[in-house]
Structures are given as structure tokens and as C-alpha cells.
């Protein structure tokens, strides 16, 4: 008889975290959810922040509940995948400790003044009619706001990473993530699956490459769960964490929308229409 394979998935949403076990046919075999008591806090109007450690603690509640209720099934899993919400940066010091609360994707703060792009960039963006789009994206980049309003924090920032990257670091000790998880205001070249050079035309986010994480191709191993993390979370020791993608990206593929003539409607904290496109 063919042995069934199981995978463990941890999905961090804006309002809750889910720990799930699936079989190799895509069936949900176990499910635990922990809702956030306070999804975010607002120090000022239109701000949305959260302590990074809060997500970790909520995840542990979910995975430990999974172990308590489904220990036999959990011990059969052969791999771990993690998905998170997008475009929410974590600033880490040289010791990989968070320097400030996470700025969530729905935060609306903007810098008051933008540094002008190099003249050659302004000319090219002007010719192709992208000047307003570039300005809009710069205004929505948390790194630029932090440099303007919290320069002391930025000066201590050794690593500027997405929430997914930080959580994978906590799980494996490796500060690495997939290119697919860099959706939003990060200088990623999606076609080549690499970071843009600091001088590249499309690098408009003012985030030095040296502050970014190592990239691991989707489907490859980011790291392995240690005994210490296993004891803390209930996740089996030795389990490999596989590079995946964002929550909505994985959801789109999971619903079968793999062509550009198909669309998926997703309801959550924000609703969106998702389409796969090779471009």
C-alpha cells in the first residue's frame, strides 16, 4: 500500500494564524486557528503596527494545539511551508533583534518629502509615462518614511526584511526567504528572481542591498527545525522548511488559477481579484 505523505502549513493572516496539516491530495486533515486579540494598534491615525513577537507567540499556541490534538498525524509530516501577509517590513539590528514594531501593509503613513531620483532615471520614467507611479510607490515605502522620521532606528538597522523572512529566521536560524515573498515595496527583480542592484533603474525604494536577506528559490529548503524550536513550538525536530510564497500567491495557485484567462476573488481583511501572469 502506498504511504500517504503529509505537509504542515502555517499561514499568518492579518487577523489570525492557522496551523494545518494536508495530505498529498490537498485534503485538510487537521486545523488549528488562533485569532489575534488585537490585530494591530494605531499610535496615530491611519497607522497600523504590531509587535513582531506577538505573531510568534500566537503561532506557538496554534502549533502546540496541533501537537496536543493530532500528534500521530503531526509526526507523519514530511515538510513545512509558511505563508504570511505581504509588504510588512521588520527592521533588525546586527543581532537579529527587532528595532521597532512591524509596520503592516494597511498602514497609510507617508514621508513628507522624497529624495529626487537620479536625473537619468527621471528622464526614462518620464518618457515611458511612469513618473507618477514611481512617486506613488516611493510614498508607500516604509523604509523611506523611517529614514525621514526615525533616522536613529534606520542607523541601527542591519537587516530590512519582510515579516515572512523574520518568522523563517525564528524557525530555522537562517535569514532567508523566497523571491515570491518579496511582494510590495522591496527591490526584487521577479523575472530573474534576484535583488536589484542599488544603482538599477527599477530600484526606487532606497533599501541598500546589503540590508536584504538571502534568496532561496521556491521549492528549495530554507532550513531545518532544531530540537530547541521543536520543544518550543511542537513542530517535529528535523522537519525541513520549504521556501514558498505569499498568502495570496499560494492561494491563487491553490484555487487553480494558473493562467491569465482565469481569476480568483479573495475575501479577507481586504478583498482582491487575483490573476496569474507570466509577466
Q: How does residue 82 score in pLDDT terms, banded at 50, 70 and 90?
A: very high
Q: Give the DSSP letter of residue 211.
A: G
Mean local confidence (pLDDT), 226-253: 86
What is the structure's pLDDT at 184?
85
pLDDT of residue 254: 64
Confidence of residue 250 (pLDDT cuts 50, 70, 90): low
pLDDT at residue 279 is higher than 90: no
Round to whole Å and give the CA distance between 83 and 183.
12
- The full set of domains in the chain, from first to last, is 6-106+158-186+209-245 (3.30.420.40)
Give pLDDT tens digits for 95-133: 999 999 999 999 999 999 999 999 999 999 999 999 999
pLDDT at 176: 98
Nearest to 190 by CA among 160, 215, 165: 215
Give 208 or 251, the one with higher predicted confidence.
208
Q: Which residue has better confidence, 270 or 57?
A: 57
pLDDT in tens, 16-68: 999 999 998 889 999 999 999 999 999 999 999 999 999 999 999 999 999 99
pLDDT band at 271 (very low <50, low <70, confident <90, very high): low
pLDDT at position 257 is 61
What is the distance between the alpha carbons of residues 111 and 55, in angstroms, rounded to a whole number? 27
Q: Is the pLDDT of residue 1 over 60?
A: no
0.85 exceeded by pTM: yes
What number of other Cβ atoms are within 10 A of residue 1's Cβ? 3
pLDDT digits (tens, 9 = 90+) for 147-177: 999 999 999 999 999 999 999 999 999 999 9
Give the pLDDT score at 266: 66
pLDDT band at 253 (very low <50, low <70, confident <90, very high): low
pLDDT by residue (tens digit) across 177-228?
999 999 889 999 989 999 999 999 999 999 999 999 999 999 999 999 999 9
Residue 52 confidence (pLDDT): 97
Q: Look over the chain and give the mean of its residue pLDDT values, rounded to a whole number.
A: 92
Amino acid at each position: 500500500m502506498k504511504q500517504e505523505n503529509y505537509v504542515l502549513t502555517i499561514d499568518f493572516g492579518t487577523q489570525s494564524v492557522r496551523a494545518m496539516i494536508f495530505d498529498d491530495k490537498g485534503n485538510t486533515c487537521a486545523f488549528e486557528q488562533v485569532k489575534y486579540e488585537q490585530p494591530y494598534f494605531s499610535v496615530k491615525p491611519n497607522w497600523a503596527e504590531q509587535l513582531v513577537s506577538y505573531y510568534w507567540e500566537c503561532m506557538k499556541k496554534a502549533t502546540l494545539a496541533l501537537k496536543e490534538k493530532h500528534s500521530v498525524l503531526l509526526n507523519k509530516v514530511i515538510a513545512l511551508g509558511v505563508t504570511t501577509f505581504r509588504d510588512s517590513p521588520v527592521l533588525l539590528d546586527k543581532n537579529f533583534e527587532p528595532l521597532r514594531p512591524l509596520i503592516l501593509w494597511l498602514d497609510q503613513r507617508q514621508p513628507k518629502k522624497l529624495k529626487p531620483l537620479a536625473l537619468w532615471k527621471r528622464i526614462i520614467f518620464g518618457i515611458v509615462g511612469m513618473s507618477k507611479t514611481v512617486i506613488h510607490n516611493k510614498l508607500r515605502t516604509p523604509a523611506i518614511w523611517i529614514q525621514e522620521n526615525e533616522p536613529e532606528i534606520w542607523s541601527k538597522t542591519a537587516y530590512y526584511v519582510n515579516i515572512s523572512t523574520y518568522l523563517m529566521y525564528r524557525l530555522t536560524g537562517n535569514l532567508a526567504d523566497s523571491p515570491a515573498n518579496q511582494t510590495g515595496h522591496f527591490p526584487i527583480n521577479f523575472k530573474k528572481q534576484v535583488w536589484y542592484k542599488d544603482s538599477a533603474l527599477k530600484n526606487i525604494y532606497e533599501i541598500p542591498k546589503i540590508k536584504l536577506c538571502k534568496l532561496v528559490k521556491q521549492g528549495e529548503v530554507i532550513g531545518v527545525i532544531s530540537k530547541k524550536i521543536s520543544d518550543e513550538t511542537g513542530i517535529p525536530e528535523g522537519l525541513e522548511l520549504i521556501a514558498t510564497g505569499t498568502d495570496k500567491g499560494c492561494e491563487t495557485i491553490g484555487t487553480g488559477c494558473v493562467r491569465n484567462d482565469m481569476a480568483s476573488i479573495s475575501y479577507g481583511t481586504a478583498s482582491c481579484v487575483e490573476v496569474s501572469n507570466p509577466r
